[in-house]
A and B are shown apart, each in its own frame.
Chain A
Amino acid sequence: MEITDLTRMFAGAFSAVGLVLCLWLSRVEFGKIPRERKIHIGFATLSGLAFFKLLALAALFAIPATAVGVANYHTVEGVHDVDSCNRCHVMTPMVTDMRDPQSQSLAARHFKNGWIPKDQCYQCHSDYGLAGDMRAKMEGYRHLARYTTRTYTEPIMYRGVFHNDNCLKCHQGTPAFQAVPSHATVSERLAESSLSCTNCHGAAHPSRERRTPGHPDYSKLMGGAE
């Protein structure tokens, strides 16, 4: 079983327990709990009131907080697979192109030659993951808000900076990388992403023009869906 499935099951169970607890506690009349009632949990003994107060704390704060935490973990870590990205239809052209054996884009070449065996989107966009920086999360939230409220216009322009770290983590230090003298002289610019790797090594995805409705390639890139 994948860790993402476990996470989903865990989060689901937690949410269900929280919900049941909340419903149950809403029917408990705290004033009528007998003072002498004791509840034994293992070696600990609690008064009935204290037990229900603790239960209420768990139901109202601890369990929701854990559920939110697990959900966020799932959001940033559990959506590594390509299909997760493909759920937003604006990402479909990227995924279709990547899987197209005829495509010559950087993403397609990495895919078809097996250079990245799984989670192909995430491997090159790892700053959206838990270990990535805050800027990526801010951008991700903005994208989510724009997408769910349909307040974006096409062609979609990427506003941020694609971080070269995503390329360098695999390529830097390889013999092919070291053999190019200018990689050394522009290393600072590469490190700070002020000079993009894709300048010399090509666009990773179909151009904005091609993935905009109305372009002859658009329906093909949408997998023939539109």
Chain B
Amino acid sequence: MESETPQPAEPQDIHRREFMWAMAGLGAATAAAFAGWGALEALVPPGTADEWHKSVCRFCGTGCTIRVGMREGEIVDIRGHEDGHNKGVICVKGSMLRALPKIEGRLTTPMIRRNGKLEPASWDEALDLIGRRFKEIRDTHGPDALAFYGSGQLFTEETYTANKLFKGGLRTNNVDGNPRLCMSSAAAGYVRVYGKDEPPGCYADIDHAELFFIFGANPYECHPPLWERVQRRRAANRNAFVICVDPRRSETAKRSDLHLPVIPGTDLLLLNAMAQVMVEDGLCDMKFMQRHVRFDRNGETVDFEAFRAFLRDYTPEKVEQQLGIGADLIRHVAHRFATSRASTSLWTMGVNQRTQGTALNTMLNALHLITGQFGRKGATPFSITGQPNACGGVRDTGSLSHLLPAGRTVTNPDHRREVEHKWGLPEGAISQTPGHDAVSLFRAMGDGRVKGALIMCTNPGQSMPAADRYAKAMQDCFTVVSEIVPDSETAKAASVLLPAALWCEKEGVLGQGERRYQLVPKLLDPPGEARSDLWMLVEIAKRLGLGDLIKARTPQEVWDEWRHFSADSYYNFEGMTYDRLRALPGLQWPCPDEDHPGTARRFVEGEDPFVSKGAGIEFYGRKDKRAVVYLCPYVPSPEQRSEVYPLYLTTGRVLEQWHTGTMTMRIPELRGAAGPARFTVSEVDAKRRGIEAGDMIEVSSAFGAVQGRAVIDREMRPGLVFAAFYDARLLVNRVVADHVDPVSKEPEFKLTAVQMRRLGN
């Protein structure tokens, strides 16, 4: 039995111990793995910013949705917002927005001109002076001796308030602004054609177009995200074809499939000749025209045969000599435009800034209407816009001298009555006389008809044509200027200078080129004593005794007032509350209620809430529900080359600079990339005058003269000189003619007859 006594179970103990060790090892390995993960969660850097905010780019009218990265209360990164209409794409200017609030030399205190010199003052001193002088001027010389000159860069709430204060409160229609210089021809064109302003299409049409007709635009430099979108379309669809019409071989022209270098100022001949080919070669969509189009000659409705007869003067053979484009090529382009599966036209300042700007706009729309290139994805006429809020802020709020909000005009008694009712004004309060447009306003400031002006968020000292004349006009007047820096060309002429908050130092809505409204949230405090333009307007209103009229005093209060104002119009965006705009990367109007997704394509059934069921396409802006094609005769520009002025000067922008460079010339990366502005001249013209690259030259016209360095461009068309207008040291607008389009009153920046001579090295 003893021999059977169980021995200590050593083997089992060893197995258990081994098992325990194995488990402990496994546990340790698992713990190490999790600890490593945990550590990495803490250690992996959090990217370039700690928090991101949805916002909108401050610069051009593309209106890119962006994400603003912040760390420790400062902007440290900017990215394109991938859910925005721009699908994450911005440009180098937008990328450098991070540097904008910190540009050197910000104006941080109000200043009053005393004994010819601007001296610091308190807000109360400045505002009291403005209130007192404006009252004196109004009481002595009448309300039309006062004026507001605003900007397509103010927030909508600010422009709406200024419009209400001047037209409703001070009772003058002298409310205009820099959109008059850039897109009033586009606005006039849309109103004449469709009865309502703003483009029918949207940027997403670029994703579907097979033909791009880029006419008087240079999106590669001026609207880079839109050009990038065109390039994406080309890379994705080999049938996509880009035609660029521009007298200059611009950066866009160089990258297009076909460049038509028309003789400056003659491009209406091309549009009429294309229409003539379309009509004669049976390329018109007769069904579309019969249902949706009527023809107009000087206010009289005519038929298609009259249109055909009118166009006989514009056959390709008749215009080719004057236009500088061969008849065969005109025919080819007309056929390509009409027969493409979807044609999108993109145009901007080359069309708008012309004495025939309105005619060019109406004809560009007409080409789409007669060929039925309309209302389908990728088939649309689209005027690109220059500033971030010229559309939403100025055109839609009716803040030009002939307009009232939401598509109304000051000359229409019903419109005046409606607005008086909405603003709580007595009948007859709003003047029936259109105010001064931009050029006319500055002339009136020069000759004493306008004695007091408030200029906000714009730099007319540099951006007006015949700039010398208008810089003096500002000095002759009591000019109040709201600015971000004390040394812009406009600030230099100010009687009172007010320090303005910019971009995300204040809150408000921007409305860009495709009827999209987006909110810019306030992320930073403005420097020093700088304040928002809305705050300034409210304070000025109080001092003018008009505080009761301007009851909405915060951005959201003003927005809600304007939102409800729009409800009974075809501009209806009542569904765009601040909450929705905070959450979404913008909405496109019409947007009548809070469940409405917005309208990408206007006048199209299923998208636009105002189109009747079963209509397909309905141009509801006019009583007969038809769009109008105008018979637009070509009228040569008043600026013609002569023996004295044998060249044409044209102006524009460069990729890295925006407008007058007030912001972008103070950002080192952008200033360095663009360099100082210079004249670009052709090899032939340079050789003829003994000019070599880098020489100082003088370019002069009947309006003024400017000196600058020359760049010789082998691809430049002989007879043409180009300069960008961003650099105050080469203030090219001194030379530019100030003839205006008779309808839109937009000046012809694109064409001035000049002479050029060499000054030295």
Contacts and interface: CB of A to CB of B under 8 A. Distances in A.
A182 interface: yes
Contact of A181 (B41, B88, B96, B673): B673
Given A182-B669, A199-B89, A199-B94, A161 B45 contact: yes
Nearest to B78: A199
Contacts of A119: none
Interface stretch (B228-236, B523-531, B544-552): B228-236
B236 A102 contact: yes
Given A108-B236, A135-B45, A160-B44, A199 B95 contact: yes
B80 A161 contact: no
Given A139-B44, A141-B36, A200-B228, A182 B673 contact: yes
Interface string A107-129: 01100110000000000000000
Given A109-B236, A182-B673, A138 B40 contact: yes
Interface in B70-111: 76-80, 82-83, 87-92, 94-96
A160 B49 CA distance: 10
Contact of A194 (B44, B48, B668): B48
B90 to A, nearest CB: 5
A191 B425 CA distance: 60
A169 interface: no
A113 B233 CA distance: 13
A201 interface: yes
Contact of A202 (B96, B228, B670): B228
Contacts of A158: 47
A196 interface: yes
Interface in B156-202: none
A201 B225 CA distance: 8
A82 to B, nearest CB: 20
Contacts of B655: 180-182
B19 interface: no
B224 interface: yes
A158 B669 CA distance: 28
B760 interface: no
A186 B47 contact: no
A54 interface: no
Interface in B526-558: none
A203 B674 contact: no
Given A138-B44, A145-B37, A200-B224, A186 B95 contact: yes
A200 B44 contact: no
Contact of B47 (A113, A161, A203): A161
Interface string A136-164: 00110110010000000000001111000
Contacts of B78: 199
A195 B78 CA distance: 8
Contacts of B668: 185
B152 to A, nearest CB: 24
A41 to B, nearest CB: 31
Given A104-B235, A159-B44, A200 B674 contact: no
Given A141-B37, A184-B673, A208 B44 contact: no
A103 interface: yes
B364 to A, nearest CB: 26
Contact count band on B: 35 or more
Nearest to A209: B83
B82 A207 contact: yes
A159 B95 contact: no
B207 interface: yes
B656 A181 contact: yes
A180 B228 CA distance: 14
B368 to A, nearest CB: 24
Nearest to B43: A138
Nearest to A151: B37
A135 B43 CA distance: 9
Contact of B37 (A142, A181, A182, A196): A142
A89 B595 CA distance: 34
Interface string B15-47: 000000000000000000100110011011111
A198 interface: yes
B448 interface: no
A171 interface: no
Contacts of B142: none
B232 A181 contact: no
B87 A200 contact: no
A189 interface: yes
Interface string A46-71: 00000000000000000000000000
A2 B468 CA distance: 73
B47 A199 contact: no
Contacts of B236: 101-104, 108-109, 112
A112 B237 CA distance: 11
B242 to A, nearest CB: 15
Interface string A73-110: 00000000000000000000000000001111000110
B672 interface: yes
Interface in B202-242: 207, 224, 228, 232-233, 235-236
A118 B32 CA distance: 37
B714 to A, nearest CB: 15
Nearest to A203: B88
B48 A161 contact: yes
Contacts of B235: 104, 109, 112-113
A160 to B, nearest CB: 6
Contacts of A202: 87-89, 228, 232
B232 A203 contact: no
Interface in A172-215: 180-182, 184-186, 189, 193-196, 198-203, 207-209
A199 B80 contact: yes
A203 B80 contact: yes
Nearest to A108: B236
B586 to A, nearest CB: 14
Contacts of A189: 669
A201 B44 contact: no
Contacts of B656: 181-182, 185
Given A139-B44, A159-B46, A201-B228, A207 B83 contact: yes
22 contacts: A104-B236, A108-B236, A109-B232, A142-B37, A158-B47, A159-B47, A161-B47, A181-B673, A181-B675, A182-B655, A184-B673, A193-B48, A194-B77, A195-B95, A196-B79, A198-B80, A199-B92, A200-B228, A201-B228, A203-B82, A203-B87, A208-B83
Interface of A: 101-104, 108-109, 112-113, 135, 138-139, 141-142, 145, 158-161, 180-182, 184-186, 189, 193-196, 198-203, 207-209
User: Which 3 A-B pairs rank lowest in CB-CB distance, beginning with the nearest?
Assistant: A203-B88, A182-B673, A207-B82
Given A139-B44, A160-B47, A203-B80, 19 more contacts: A104-B207, A104-B232, A104-B235, A112-B235, A182-B92, A182-B656, A184-B673, A185-B656, A186-B92, A186-B669, A189-B669, A194-B76, A195-B95, A196-B79, A199-B92, A199-B94, A201-B89, A208-B83, A209-B83
